[in-house]
Amino acid sequence: MTQITSPHNHKLKEIRKLRMRRRARERAGRFVAEGEDLLAAADAAGWQPLERFCVEGSGLAGLEVDAKLLASASGLGSGTRTLAVYEERWAERAAGPLCVYLHGVHDPGNVGAVMRAAAAFGASSVALGPASADPFSPKAVRASMGAVFSVPVVREGDLRALPGTKIALTTVATAPLAGLWRFTKEADHPPVTLVVGSEREGLPREVVDRADGAVRIPIQTDSLNAAMAATIALYEVTRMAPAR
């Protein structure tokens, strides 16, 4: 039985707001995930949705919604079969032994991709510094491929509060310089925090200065994006210690 048929339904309105506006998410402390894969990832990680919706006649779990209405509330449009609202979870502090800290990474797709890489390589947490995108935005949640439900995220403005040795990755490489050797040596002594800046601006001077070390990924072009840089660094530190 279709349970939601009105475009003015307040639950659908809330979904639209949570999807579109960071402030609405922050105020409510809630976010939306869409699609069967993401909802399955949430289930697998033990997250209970506050409310779950599905398209009429799909046989999926949740409140049945008229297909057009569900599509209009969704960021994916027609073809949306299910979505759910969750409570945001922010960790109290950035956990070690392996943390990724993002400074000024504005692009939510990049933040999501970093979370995905963090999950893939078994990082303990992702810390979000000033001017970083919201990890609970729809684009970040989608790009995370469900990692938002498994990797603890924390807001942290203070580099000193992050675990262990802080290693700044400069994504803008001016020369193909293999500084990663030193880096892996330091990373042999966890905890380690990988400090990653945005693609355009890189890390501000003062952040690099406050880190314990800085390395360049040896590339021949101007830059990698934050997610690629983080992926390589996560690979490099875990490569040496696969059992971490």
The answer to the question of residue 102 lying near a copy of itself (CB under 8 A) is no
Binding test (CB under 8 A) with a copy of itself, winner from 129, 202, 231, 237: 231
Residues that contact a copy of itself, how many (by CB under 8 A): 28
The answer to the question of residue 61 lying near a copy of itself (CB under 8 A) is no
The answer to the question of residue 33 lying near a copy of itself (CB under 8 A) is no
Q: Which is nearer to a copy of itself, 6 or 221 (CB)?
A: 221
Residue type, 67: A
Q: Which residues ranging from 204 to 223 are in contact with a copy of itself (CB under 8 A)?
A: 217-221, 223
- What one-character DSSP code corresponds to residue 199? T
Residue type, 167: I
Contacts of 166 (CB under 8 A, 6+ apart): 101, 159, 193, 195, 210, 211, 212, 213
CA distance 32 to 49: 9
The answer to the question of residue 172 lying near a copy of itself (CB under 8 A) is no
Tokens standing for residue 165: 């040795």
Count other C-beta atoms under 10 Å from residue 163's C-beta: 20
- The footprint of a copy of itself (CB under 8 A) covers 113, 116-117, 119-122, 145, 147, 176, 178, 180, 217-221, 223-224, 227-228, 231-232, 235-236, 238-239, 242
